[in-house]
Structure 1
Amino acid sequence: MRRYGLMPLFILLLGSLSGCASISQEECVLGNWYQIGLSDGTRGYHNRAASYNSECLQYQVKMDVTAYNRGRNQGLKTYCSYENGVSLGKKNWGYNNVCPSSLASEFLSGYQPYKNLAGAKQELEKFKKDVKFYQSRVNSEYSSEYFKDYNIERLNTAKEGVEEAKAKVAKYQQEIEIHKIQREKSKILKELSRTDISPSRRAILNQQLGSLNTRETMLNTIQSIKQIAEMF
């Protein structure tokens, strides 16, 4: 059992940010390497076998690298899922390229669209705060003419930033709508490929597919019009 509860919070945060691995003598001796690997994989950590082995050798214990890697690979199946990609993307969290090629595509298909949107929303909030800040400076009766001109310039830049960020948010929201439609279409097509579904169920699925195709075409058309408009 890891004795994190005895460690100051800032040390834990520092270790997390630096990517350093730390393991206790008790863990080395107990040697529950599959569970340790499972935990590391589920949390999206890089492979820490070399670091663990080096630390455990100080206690005259050699780790079971095979068990660790087996557990970590299993944990990565949870971390690298589409659902977790969506969750991390919505939180605007970073990704350390830990997913193997067999899982990365599914993870990134969930992660990237929502990460783009979360980043644009964060950018929008920053520019809104800048507008509020420089507006108060411009309105201040204590501001000299020189600084007022400077603050007006910064205010205008921030306002432009707000509009650009709003456009990004709208763009990424629309991309997510298209993404959702494509995911739903994929599920329907997969079910339609089965030979054991009833004619009535097949008819319902085809109707749903037609509606989704119409919706996707409309969104793509709107997106194309916006892209053309941005060129002028």
Structure 2
Amino acid sequence: MTRRHLLTLIFILLALSLSGCATLSEGECRTANWQELGRIDGTQGQPRARLFEHAKACADYGIRPDAEAYYRGRERGLLDYCTPANAYREGRRGATYRGVCPALLEGNFLESYRQGLAIHEVESELEGLERQIQRVEHRLDDEEVASDEIQELHRELRSLYRDYRFRQQELLRLEQYHGRYGRMLPR
């Protein structure tokens, strides 16, 4: 890759990350390495329609993307995205899978993705329970709470702690099974 292409790639990545959208500037449209942009979009699990977003942005400047080069790059990028290790990481962080993996890779991808997602969901439930526990504990610290309400708050707190312990055990079980599996997956 030439220095010019590397600088263009860095500029495109920086602009995309700062803007948070799929639009490209005029300069990015004029200097785009469409195959490399497709590869980047593929490694991020972007759908085929991402090219249409780029095309729309570039149409304002009278520039048409090289669709063949873009899709060639995207397919190469999907090979990096559609690995079991990446699927597990995507699931763990709660990312949405957009159905982009080729059929031959999708079965293994989805299995690993679901394992990571199961852990993510339990972690999210634990966070919600922590917030509920804090809310009840804060309410118990309020000196203006009536005595009959205090008893109800204590019952609610015991129930929340029970649910929290159950979810912690579930998380531990999942991490022991899936987490170990996720660490053993090739990177």
TM-score range with shorter-chain normalisation? 0.7 to 0.9
1:61 positional shift:
1.7
Change (3 A) 1:34 1:8: closer
Indicate the residue corresponding to 2:113 in structure 1: 111
Matched, 1:63 2:78: no
Structure 2 segments unaligned to the other structure (5+ residues): 1-7
Distance, in Å, in 2 between the alignment partners of 1:6 and 1:95 is: 24
Residues 16 and 23 in structure 2, CA contact (< 8 A), matched pair in contact too:
no
Indicate the residue corresponding to 2:4 in structure 1: none
Change (3 A) 1:34 1:139: same
Change (3 A) 1:69 1:146: farther
**Local SS of the residue matching 1:159:** helix
1:123 positional shift:
1.5
Q: Which moved more, 1:63-72 or 1:170-179?
A: 170-179
Change (3 A) 1:63 1:8: closer
Residues 31 and 64 in structure 1, CA contact (< 8 A), matched pair in contact too:
no
Indicate the residue corresponding to 2:5 in structure 1: none
1:62 positional shift:
1.7
Matched, 1:45 2:28: no
RMSD: 3.1
Residues 43 and 81 in structure 2, CA contact (< 8 A), matched pair in contact too:
yes
1:49 positional shift:
1.6
Residues 113 and 175 in structure 1, CA contact (< 8 A), matched pair in contact too:
no
**Local SS of the residue matching 1:46:** coil
Q: Deviations over 1:68-96 (max 9, x none)?
A: 11101110110111121122233333322
Distance, in Å, in 1 between the alignment partners of 2:180 and 2:17 is: 46
Change (3 A) 1:146 1:126: same
Percent identity over paired residues: 24
Distance, in Å, in 1 between the alignment partners of 2:159 and 2:80 is: 43
1:53 positional shift:
1.9
Indicate the residue corresponding to 2:28 in structure 1: 27
Q: What letter is aligned with 1:22?
A: T
Indicate the residue corresponding to 1:223 in structure 2: none
Indicate the residue corresponding to 2:135 in structure 1: 133
Distance, in Å, in 2 between the alignment partners of 1:61 and 1:94 is: 31
1:102 positional shift:
1.9
Q: Which moved more, 1:37-46 or 1:79-88?
A: 79-88
Indicate the residue corresponding to 1:176 in structure 2: 178
Distance, in Å, in 2 between the alignment partners of 1:6 and 1:56 is: 14
Task: Please give the TM-score of this superposition, normalised by the length of structure 1.
Answer: 0.62
Equivalent pairs, count: 174
Residues 12 and 28 in structure 2, CA contact (< 8 A), matched pair in contact too:
no
Indicate the residue corresponding to 1:86 in structure 2: 88
Q: Deviations over 1:128-162 (max 9, x none)?
A: 34224313422432213465355345424423431
Residues 24 and 57 in structure 2, CA contact (< 8 A), matched pair in contact too:
yes
Q: What letter is aligned with 1:38?
A: R
Q: What letter is aligned with 1:73?
A: E
Indicate the residue corresponding to 1:158 in structure 2: 160
Q: Deviations over 1:194-217 (max 9, x none)?
A: xxxxxxxxxxxxxxxxxxxxxxxx
Q: What letter is aligned with 1:115?
A: L
Q: Greater relative contact order (Cα 8 A, min sep 6): structure 1 or 2?
A: 2
Q: Which moved more, 1:64-73 or 1:100-109?
A: 100-109
